Amino acid sequence: MSRPVLTVENLSVDYLVDPVVHAVRDVSFTLRRGEILGLAGESGCGKSTLAYGLVRLLKPPAAVTAGRAVFHAEDGTGVDWGELSTEQLRAARWDRISMVFQGAMNSLNPVISIRDQFEDVFLTHRPGMSRADRRRRCGDLLERVGVDRTRLRSYPHELSGGMRQRVMIAMAMALEPQIMIMDEPTTALDVVVQRDILREISRLRDELGFAVVFITHDLPLLLEISDRIAVMRDGRIVELGDAAQLYTAPRHEYTRTLLASFPSLTGDRGSFVRGVAS
Amino acid sequence: MTSLEVRGLVKDYRLRDGLRSTRLRAVDDVGFTLDHGRTVALVGQSGSGKSTIARLLLQLERPTAGEIRLDGRPVARRGAGLIRYRRLVQMVFQDPFASLNPHHDVAHHLARPLRLHHPELSRADVDARIRHLLERVQLDPAMAGRRPHELSGGQRQRVAIARALAPSPGILIADEPVSMLDVSIRLGVLNLLATLQREEDLGVLYITHDLATARHFSDDILVMYRGRIVEHGPADEVILNPKHEYTRLLADATPDPERRFGPAPR
């Protein structure tokens, strides 16, 4: 649990436009094996840019200008993703670190069946796998996220939003990566479906032991599911700590502001008075 | 001093599947009252019929059965009565990026409802009212010349609120008014709505899926499930002591750190 799986050192990402936008500034953290690290912040604070930067998926004009992200394999060897070639990166993505991006459910190809899109992952990354194995594995993965395997024959439009999002999560787990980066994976879904998917993610994490970087602006949600939480503002991590500590004793002013932005569901009204402009 | 009463409201949609057609009952025998000075929250999952109710109240759709009464009289469906109804019942939409016209400046958005509903106003009167409306929603009157793309999400939603207030309505329907806004400004906009409601004695229907803000910003909560209202009561009562199984399901699904860590020491 305590061994690191990803070490990020002084990572900076700039958008090289005029004037230059420093989207991520000097971010450092370690991700431990099997932990859920929450990344919270408002829109525009750089949290998604950071996620894309970790897996080197930034498109120009965005570029990593300083620092590095080192992935630690199970045998202890470290790989700096910044030094990999394009081909090595292609092979490593999804295999070591997979991603579920915001609105991922809409990234399924509408004219290709779920099965074909699923098998694509194995055809690309596990070319030696037999056809029968592939089929079985696709079905198993779908069932693992609570979708019936007969759905493999379906096309994306035949599934609900929640189901499509589950399919994406199943795909992200296909190669048993050690890290999953989830950027607002449940934002477009309603609360009941969101709850199901969160339970699923927690259960699978316990079962398979991958680490999760969970990015969202929904701080109460992160407080419920994360082991540790990083709060980002203007490209910097202003506070990083244990979820309980962050909740009960936030150190940074901005964390307090963010916490106060969410009225409590069941607690007392506290300082919260309706109709008094804040 | 307006009140809007809904009784036995039903809305069916026809779904076509090739030659067959089936009936979807989106709203099923719904009844409630929106009184001046009170906020009623309508909560439920997506697809539960919340927005259909908003569309029915705004007369964008015709109910299949049931009636809507304004101050005790059935609502007018045409003519001067409908114009009066449209003035009295106003709406704030979810997406402030889509609900404002990018070609027009803020002043235009506020002047339109003023001119339509108060044709007697002179140009100077309209300008004065625009300034006043912007001040009411805590925007700098100098914003009047700006276009929507120059404003932040929170500023745009304030313009949308000012626009809804322009014809001096009695009822305001707010369909997820803050869900598209940044978390740190949501409470500010909700507080603004609450302040305006008190000052103008508005009846507000707050449609949301966020139980926490529903509890804090409304007097009563209606819980909707598959077109029906399954629970109805004072806000704290519904959230803290839910009677219906579905309300409990919703409450359990809502993230609540206090379940994990106990009450916050705020």
Residue B238 — very low, low, confident or very high, per pLDDT cuts 50/70/90? Answer: very high
Here the tokens at position A275 are: 């109709």
The packing angle between helices B153-165 and B183-200, to 10°, is 10
- DSSP classification of residue A75: T
Q: In a 3-state reduction of DSSP, which class is residue B233?
A: strand
Percent of all residues in chain A with a pLDDT value above 90, rounded to a whole number: 37
Here the tokens at position B201 are: 């004695």
Contacts A190 to B, Cβ<8 Å: 45-46, 209
pLDDT of B264 strictly over 70? no
pLDDT the model gives residue A74:
81
pLDDT of B6 strictly over 80? yes
CB-based contact A238:A259 (threshold 8 Å): no
User: How many C-beta atoms surround the C-beta of residue B241 within 10 A?
Assistant: 10
- The predicted model gives A235-246 an average pLDDT of 92
The residue ranges of DSSP E strands in B159-241, in sequence order, are 171-175, 203-208, 220-225, 228-234
Residue B205 — very low, low, confident or very high, per pLDDT cuts 50/70/90? Answer: very high
pLDDT of A277 strictly over 50? no
The domains of chain B are located at 3-254
pLDDT the model gives residue A160:
80
- The predicted model gives B11-28 an average pLDDT of 86
The domains of chain A are located at 1-96+178-262, 104-176
C-alpha of A191 from chain center: 18
Alpha carbons B3 and B134: distance in angstroms, whole number:
26
Segment A72-117, tens digit of pLDDT? 988 878 888 888 888 998 988 999 999 988 776 678 899 999 999 9
Q: Chain B residues with CB-CB distance to A under 8 A?
A: 45-46, 138, 182-184, 186-188, 191-192, 194-195, 197-198, 209, 211-213, 215-217, 239-240, 249-261, 263-266
pLDDT of A1 strictly over 60? no
Residues 6+ away with beta carbon under 8 Å from A237: A27, A28, A29, A230, A231
Segment A36-55, tens digit of pLDDT? 999 998 888 888 899 989 98
- The predicted model gives A10-14 an average pLDDT of 93
C-beta atoms of B217 and A259 within 8 A: no
CA-based nearest residue to A67, from A237, A247, A272, A258:
A237
Segment B218-232, tens digit of pLDDT? 999 999 999 999 999
C-beta atoms of B187 and A270 within 8 A: no
pLDDT the model gives residue A278:
42
- Looking at CATH, the fold of the domain delimited by A1-96+178-262 is given as Rossmann fold (3.40.50)
Report phi then psi at B140, rounded to 5: -70, 125
**CATH architecture entry for B3-254:** 3-Layer(aba) Sandwich (3.40)
C-beta atoms of B217 and A218 within 8 A: no
- DSSP classification of residue A73: P
Angle at A107 between CA A169 and CA B255, to 5 degrees: 50
Candidates A223, A224, A277; nearest CB to B191: A277
Interface with chain A: mutation pick from B97, B195, B219, B258, highest number of A CBs within 10 Å: B258
C-beta atoms of A266 and B240 within 8 A: yes
Burial tier of A22 (Cβ tally within 10 Å: 0-12, 13-18, 19+): middle
Q: Chain A residues with CB-CB distance to B under 8 A?
A: 42-43, 190-192, 194-195, 217-221, 223-224, 243-244, 247-249, 257-272, 274-278
The shortest C-alpha distance from A220 to chain B (Å) reads 6
Segment B84-94, tens digit of pLDDT? 999 999 999 98
Angle at A99 between CA A192 and CA A66, to 5 degrees: 130
Residue A18 — very low, low, confident or very high, per pLDDT cuts 50/70/90? Answer: confident
Candidates A190, A247, A263; nearest CB to B261: A247
pLDDT the model gives residue A241:
92
Rg (CA), chain B: 19
Q: ipTM greater than 0.90, yes or no?
A: no
Here the tokens at position A41 are: 């912040």
Mean pLDDT score of chain A:
87
Interface with chain B: mutation pick from A232, A256, A266, highest number of B CBs within 10 Å: A266
pLDDT of A222 strictly over 60? yes
User: How many C-beta atoms surround the C-beta of residue A84 within 10 A?
Assistant: 16
Please, what's the largest Cα pairwise distance for chain A? 66
Mean pLDDT score of chain B:
91
Burial tier of B131 (Cβ tally within 10 Å: 0-12, 13-18, 19+): middle
Rg (CA), chain A: 19
Angle at B85 between CA B192 and CA B175, to 5 degrees: 40
pLDDT of B204 strictly over 90? yes
Alpha carbons A46 and A65: distance in angstroms, whole number:
14
Segment A53-77, tens digit of pLDDT? 998 888 888 899 999 899 998 887 8
CB-based contact B10:B28 (threshold 8 Å): yes
C-beta atoms of A261 and B259 within 8 A: no
CB-based contact A186:A198 (threshold 8 Å): yes
Higher per-residue confidence, A162 vs B202:
B202
Task: Give me the numbers of helices (H) and strands (E) for chain B, helices first please.
Answer: 10, 10
Alpha carbons B105 and B89: distance in angstroms, whole number:
24
Residue B108 — very low, low, confident or very high, per pLDDT cuts 50/70/90? Answer: very high
pLDDT of A270 strictly over 70? no
pLDDT the model gives residue A101:
81
Q: Tally the C-alpha atoms within 13 A of residue B216's C-alpha that lie toward its C-beta.
A: 24
Out of A120-134, B48-62, B252-266, pick the least confident: B252-266
Alpha carbons A135 and A138: distance in angstroms, whole number:
5
Burial tier of A228 (Cβ tally within 10 Å: 0-12, 13-18, 19+): buried
